[in-house]
A and B are shown apart, each in its own frame.
Chain A
Amino acid sequence: MQTVSIDVGDDGTLSAVLRGELDFTQAARIVAAMEAAIDDCRPDSVRVDLAEVTFLDSSGIGALVRAMKAADQVNASFVVERPTLVVFDQLNTAGLVDVFGLRRA
């Protein structure tokens, strides 16, 4: 199964689905895929689905931050959706719950 799959809708929304363990070994690949897709498609908004992400370490958080910066560069909004409890915990610790558009559970 791919760690990342990216779709671009007609409404200018780039939807990325991430899966598995987002750690040091996966971070660079995800960043590359997200940055390339955002640069190519210049979407209006970027949504990242984390429902199937089971673990996130500091590299994984770094990857999400870099994706957010890439979205900022093209003036696209950036939201993260459906994190598991563990992943929400991580994002909360990183202080990213608000900037990623996540409501506190």
Chain B
Amino acid sequence: MIPETDSGYLQRLAELEARVDQARLSPEILSERAAGLLAGRIGCRIDEAHAHLRLLAGQQNTSVASVAATVIGALEIRRSTSLRQVRHSVEEALRATDQEPDQPVRVSAPDASYSWLDVVQQMLNALPGKHIVVVPVRGDDGRITDYECVAVSPGMRDLSGRTGPQLIGMAISTAYPDIVGGPVWRAWADSLTDGHPRSVEPFTYVHIDNGDASEHLLTVRVRPVGPGLLNSWVMHDEQTRLAERIDQTERLGNLGYGEWDLITDTTVWSDGLYRIYERDPADGPLPRAESEALGLPEDEPLRRQAAEEFGRGETIDLTTRALINGKVKHLRAVIDTVRDAEGRPRKVYGIIQDVTARETSRRKLAEVERQLHEHQQDLAAEHRLAAQLQHIVLPIPETPVDLPGLRAAVRYLPAEQASRIGGDWFHAALAGDGSVVLAVGDVAGHGVQAAATMAQLRHTMAALTMTTTSQPAELLAHLNRLLLALGVSTAPATAVIVRWEPATHACTWSQAGHPPPLHARAGVAVELPRPAGPLLGGLAHAEYGTNSLDLAAGDILLLYTDGLVEHRERTLSEGTAPVADLMSRVTAERRDYPLDVLLAGLQRANPDDDTCLLAVRRTDCGNGHD
């Protein structure tokens, strides 16, 4: 019964009422519904169900509406009654009426033992918990000698593993010998005598199974029902196990459970909720106002929406943030309400889950994705920069270039993979002394660093040929010193340099760790024998040898970087062979085979590396024609 005079509750109720929009059922409608449900469930007539509700209300000293609400609450949970069951129940009810038109089933009639037991068993089937109904067994003198099990809850399984069908009909002295003469035994006799319910406080029950004895702590509530006694059993070690399971579940799921009774204004927290709020259980639950104050102001719209949903009587499910001990926690709350017959909330309970870890990993994932995206953009930017740098430092002439006595064509094949833009370079220009200096080079590595080293080499080379020397070996020695001076971490480089003297037709060349040029004349292409020379930037006192070459009119010389011939599965000479073949073919075909067409026909062997090609032909006269 609701203590309407409790002003505290009314006030709390008023606080919520503004948000409550629950359809309110009148007591008449409630009892009609309850009677209908009850009649349908146990197979009695509607008017008998009404009578039973009134009887119950009288016994419990409460209103019919209240009993009706309880009945609806208990029976409406089981909604999954199949049509077959309904038909069966209807047929049963009709048959009962046909057979005994003058003796309808009387719900509380103690003398109609068959109907009484049937109803009791049906009630037990619908009730949660573990119950056994016993009836006294009397001797000839009318004294109680034993008790007999007559109805058992369907979920009941006793310590010996017996269930209803095995227990019904058994004598208590056989089923539970330890009960005989004990506190429960006495309570049964007393309840039968005075008709009052009793509770047997936790007592130790010794269970003997196959000679093994085990002790169990039990509480039994005894209520007189008709001629018998309804016993509700609570096994305390089971309760402990259940509590442990709940605790484990709370820990595993970072869950907590809280309850607010509006009538008594008491709040109960589970251990898990104390953990979530990092609060000592000894201090009791955090006052509601304080726990609400922990919520982050940014989440206010979410909380307002939840309050609206609560007002509509809906179950709330929201995730908000709370500042607990200086840490922001993401808490998911599922909040539901127990309402009375008038739909007024009596109890609010919530399951709270700490989902911070999930939220955190979601945020971290988003952050990693963002960084990855940035990194990709960085890579793309680096590639663009390297390509721009290369374009600025190394503009590739689109058509062949004429130099004194020579025609030169250049082709640059960038690496297939964007990030592999490398440090290949070429040089083909008149030197300060009137000679022509031709070169290609390759800086180890890729990207902006390699492109920067390439730029330094190329500009130094151009400057040296104008001011200092045009001799290939001397140029390489200078470049080697330059790279060494740039520091230990500078990647080494390779280069090949050819010097052509237009006046004397003298041709000399040197190399630094670089593949030798290919020389083709009238259908025969060969790799030039290399003078000594280690790569640039590796050795402090590197020395570079010089070879000379007889370059006749119409001869083609090809300078290239190793991307052209270097292959993961082939030796260098295997890589050179197809290039030499092509050069042999074109020089056999005609003396003026277009150089750019020749270069276009060359495919790079290593798609991971960029490749620079410089082809020159000695022209017959100073301004040369192809």
Q: Is the CB of B609 within 8 A of A57?
A: yes
Could you tell me the distance between the alpha carbons of A61 and B442 in the complex, rounded to whole angstroms?
A: 12
Could you tell me the distance between the alpha carbons of A4 and B533 in the complex, rounded to whole angstroms?
A: 29
| Chain A 61-105 interface 0/1 with B at a Cβ cutoff of 8 Å (1 = within) | 110011011100100000000000110011001111011000000
B445 is contacted by which of A62, A68, A94 (Cβ under 8 Å)?
Answer: A62
Could you tell me the distance between the alpha carbons of A8 and B488 in the complex, rounded to whole angstroms?
A: 23
Chain A's closest residue to B446 (CB) is A24
Given the complex, which residues of A lie within 8 Å of B444, measured CB to CB? 27, 58-59, 61-62
Judged by a CB distance under 8 angstroms, whether B514 is at the interface is yes
Chain A's closest residue to B570 (CB) is A86
Chain B's closest residue to A58 (CB) is B444
Judged by a CB distance under 8 angstroms, whether B492 is at the interface is yes
B608 is contacted by which of A57, A62, A98 (Cβ under 8 Å)?
Answer: A57
Q: Is the CB of B535 within 8 A of A57?
A: no
Chain B's closest residue to A63 (CB) is B444
A21-B568, A93-B514 in contact; A66/B535 too (CB < 8 A)? no
Judged by a CB distance under 8 angstroms, whether B379 is at the interface is no
Judged by a CB distance under 8 angstroms, whether A23 is at the interface is yes
Q: Is the CB of A96 within 8 A of B562?
A: no
B571 is contacted by which of A27, A68, A85, A98 (Cβ under 8 Å)?
Answer: A85
Q: Is the CB of A24 within 8 A of B534?
A: no
Q: Is the CB of B488 within 8 A of A69?
A: yes
Given the complex, which residues of B lie within 8 Å of A65, measured CB to CB? 492, 535, 537-538
Judged by a CB distance under 8 angstroms, whether B489 is at the interface is yes
Query: How many whole Å from A56's CB to the nearest CB in chain B?
Result: 9
Q: Is the CB of A24 within 8 A of B568?
A: no
Q: Is the CB of B445 within 8 A of A23?
A: no
Given the complex, which residues of B lie within 8 Å of A3, measured CB to CB? none
A27 is contacted by which of B445, B512, B539, B606 (Cβ under 8 Å)?
Answer: B445
A94 is contacted by which of B513, B568, B570, B571 (Cβ under 8 Å)?
Answer: B513
Could you tell me the distance between the alpha carbons of A90 and B444 in the complex, rounded to whole angstroms?
A: 13
Given contacts A59-B491, A86-B570, 17 further A-B contacts (CB under 8 A): A23-B608, A24-B445, A27-B445, A58-B494, A58-B562, A58-B609, A65-B535, A66-B489, A66-B491, A73-B488, A89-B571, A90-B566, A93-B494, A94-B534, A95-B542, A96-B534, A98-B534
Q: Interface of B with A (CB < 8 Å)? A: 420, 442-446, 488-489, 491-492, 494, 511-515, 532-535, 537-539, 542, 562, 566, 568, 570-573, 606, 608-609
25 contacts between A and B (CB under 8 A): A24-B420, A58-B442, A58-B443, A58-B445, A59-B444, A61-B444, A62-B444, A62-B491, A65-B538, A66-B488, A66-B491, A68-B538, A85-B571, A89-B572, A90-B566, A93-B515, A93-B562, A93-B572, A94-B494, A94-B534, A95-B534, A95-B542, A96-B538, A98-B534, A99-B538
